[in-house]
Amino acid sequence: MLDIFDSSLVSSTIRMVTPILLAALGGSLCARVGIFNVGLEGFILVGAFAAIVGNHFTGSLWLALLLAAFVTLLFSLLFGYMTVHLRANEIVVGVAINFLGLGLTTFLLRAIFGVKGAFYDKDMQGLPQLQIPVLHDIPLLGPILSGHSPLVYVSFAAAILLYLFYYRSVTGFRVRAVGMNATAAKSIGLNTVRLQYLAISLCGILCGLAGAQLSLGQVTMFTEGMAAGRGFIALVAMMLGQSHPFGILASSLLFGLMDAISIRLQGFSLPTQFTAMLPYILTIAAMFFLKDRGMGSNRASQQSGR
């Protein structure tokens, strides 16, 4: 039983955590402006596909990442237009966005690459594994912290940057104000619509990178529906983390660990369903104690009173 836990488990946890963390941080941006975004799953899928398209046609990894971020940004603007501009119900739009993401990527997979199910090209390069000079040579810690794709480091940096943004910048303060009380924010002259669009577009970019990590970081291929529920896990990580960047970092690490353990357990032919279930049970349990029920904004109470 003990050989389940070793340094390679920690290392694979860090790899597993990246897409969840990036998407959950994106989700928190939406939650902070009072929009509960269930469309993260669709965003990630679109990002994963765009990254592969970019990589295949430009041959450059950086352009691929750029394209993933850009295309998902456009996709998120559709979500933004429906929810902010047309004031459509965000849950309904999110569900539709997920269907659209799955439909579009499968469709375009056929249209662009002419294949069904999965696209794989042996000439395609995945994201490099960065060997960080000094860090790499530290015994024990080195192999854990070094040798990941750049996006892994980007995701951890994003958590810190987002913390600084929320709590140390004026715009971040304004973003939080919109989520806490949109009417009050408007009355002191904030442009709530613009702030909501800003948050949603940043969410799109982060989810696009999450998708790129899936299709270029962990493997180098695209398969239909490869987000495989990570968007929803990210949503749960966001709720458990109370939309606070460090809270999200902690909950994402926990879920990544569960993910890594699940994969390990398969080798031991133990039931994986219970480890997979744990994040959800934990989140429900945490809801009893969390004061604003994971939204990080007042929208929650407004909605349930509807």
CB of 108 to another protein, least distance (A): 8
Residue from 16, 31, 44, 93 touching another protein (CB under 8 A): that is 93
Residues that bind another protein (rule: CB under 8 A) add up to a total of 48
Residue from 95, 180, 193, 265 touching another protein (CB under 8 A): that is 95
Residue from 5, 110, 118, 138 touching another protein (CB under 8 A): that is 110
Q: Which residues of 181-201 are buried (b: 16+ CB within 10 A; e: fewer)?
A: ebeebeeeebebeebbbbbbb
CA distance 64 to 47: 10
CB of 95 to another protein, least distance (A): 6
CA distance 88 to 268: 47
CA distance 82 to 35: 12
Element (H, E) at 120: strand 118-120
CB of 87 to another protein, least distance (A): 5
The DSSP call for residue 2 is: G
Q: Decide: is 266 part of the binding site for another protein (CB under 8 A).
A: no
Q: Decide: is 103 part of the binding site for another protein (CB under 8 A).
A: yes
CA distance 157 to 166: 14
Q: Decide: is 287 part of the binding site for another protein (CB under 8 A).
A: yes
CA distance 225 to 212: 14
Residue from 1, 86, 134, 188 touching another protein (CB under 8 A): that is 86
Q: Decide: is 141 part of the binding site for another protein (CB under 8 A).
A: no
Residue from 102, 130, 135, 265 touching another protein (CB under 8 A): that is 102
Q: Are 22 and 252 contacting, i.e. CB atoms less than 8 angstroms apart? A: no
18 or 90: whose CB is closer to another protein?
A: 90
Q: Are 55 and 125 contacting, i.e. CB atoms less than 8 angstroms apart? A: yes
CA distance 145 to 152: 10
Q: In terms of Cα–Cα distance, which of 194, 172, 216 is closest to 69?
A: 216
CA distance 158 to 21: 9
Estimate to the nearest angstrom the gap between the alpha carbon of 294 and the chain centroid. 16
Q: Decide: is 91 part of the binding site for another protein (CB under 8 A).
A: yes
Q: Decide: is 300 part of the binding site for another protein (CB under 8 A).
A: yes
Q: Decide: is 186 part of the binding site for another protein (CB under 8 A).
A: no
CB of 259 to another protein, least distance (A): 13
Q: Decide: is 306 part of the binding site for another protein (CB under 8 A).
A: yes
Residues in touch with another protein (CB under 8 A): 36, 38, 78, 82, 86-89, 91-93, 95-97, 99-100, 102-104, 106-108, 110-111, 116, 232, 235-236, 239, 271, 273-274, 276-277, 280-281, 283-284, 287-288, 293-295, 300, 303-306
